[in-house]
Structure 1
Amino acid sequence: MTRRTRSTWHIQREGDTLTVARRMPVRLDVAAEASFPACNRLVLAQQIRQDLWRRLQRLRGFAPVVQVVREADGLRVTAGGQLDAAAPEHTSAHVADMLNAPHLRQRWIAHASKQAATPSVGEARDV
C-alpha cells in the first residue's frame, strides 16, 4: 500500500518493509545501513529522513529515501536517496556516519519509542 502525504512524501508499506521517499519508484544512488532496536518504524523513518535532508539538501536533485525493515532482533534501516547528478565522493560514508552518530540515534530512538507507546488518534501503532 502506498500513501502520499500532503507534503508530497510517499509512505509505502509492504510486509515488514516501510519506505518513506520523495519520489517513486525508489532509487538509491547513495545509501548506508544501520540496525536499530524495535520502535515505531514510521516515526523513526521520518526522523532519519529529516536529518538526512538537512545534511544532503545541497546536492543537486537529491531526493531522500529511508527504508525500515522489521527483523527478528529489531529494525534494519537503509537511508540514502536519488541524485540527478553524480554523487560526490564519500557521500555514502557521510550517510553512514549520520546513522551511527550516538546523539542522533539516541534522539531518534527516544522519539520513536515514545510514539510507539502512545499512538496518536487515527494512526496505527507501527512497532
Structure 2
Amino acid sequence: MPARFDVVANTTLPQGDPLRLAHQIRQDMWRKLQKVRGFSPVVQLTREGDVIRVEAGGRVAAPVAPGLSGEIADLLACPAHRARWVAQATRSGRRL
C-alpha cells in the first residue's frame, strides 16, 4: 500500500542511517499522536546534497484536526528530539 499523507510537515537533518532516522522519528510521532483516531504515521526521507529531507505525517481515518500539521512540525523542530535522532542515525555506518 503506498504511503498516504493526509497530514504532513517537513524538515531537514544531517546525513545518517536512514532506517534509524526514520524509525526514531516515526516512534516519536506515534507517541505524540497516538490518541488521534486512526492515525498511521509515515516518514519519507530523501537525500538532498549534504542533508536528508524529512517528510513526516501520515494517514488519518477521521477528519484532520486543525493544527495537527503544526504538532508534527513542532516535534520535528524540537532540539532535544533532533539531537537524539541525529545521534542514533550516526551510530551506524549506513548513509542515505
Pairwise TM-score range, normalised by the shorter structure:
over 0.9
Unmatched segments (≥5 aa) in structure 2: none
- The offset of 1:26, in angstroms, is 1.0
Residue number among 21, 26, 32 corresponding to 1:55 in the alignment? 32
The answer (yes or no) to whether the contact 1:42–1:126 under 8 Å persists in 2 is: no
Higher helix share: 2
Tell me how many residue pairs correspond in the alignment. Answer: 96
Unmatched segments (≥5 aa) in structure 1: 1-23, 117-124
Residue number among 45, 62, 70 corresponding to 2:22 in the alignment? 45
2:86 and 2:10 map into 1 onto residues whose CA distance is: 16
- The offset of 1:94, in angstroms, is 0.5
Q: Which residue of 1 aligns with 2:56?
A: 79
Residue identity over aligned pairs, in percent, reads 48
1:57 and 1:115 map into 2 onto residues whose CA distance is: 28
The correspondence of residues 1-127 of structure 1 with structure 2, limited to 5 A, is 24-116=1-93, 125-127=94-96
> CA RMSD of the aligned region, Å?
0.9
1:47 and 1:115 map into 2 onto residues whose CA distance is: 14
Q: Taking structure 1 as the reference length, what is the TM-score of the superposition?
A: 0.73
Q: Taking structure 2 as the reference length, what is the TM-score of the superposition?
A: 0.95
SS of match in other structure, 1:88: coil
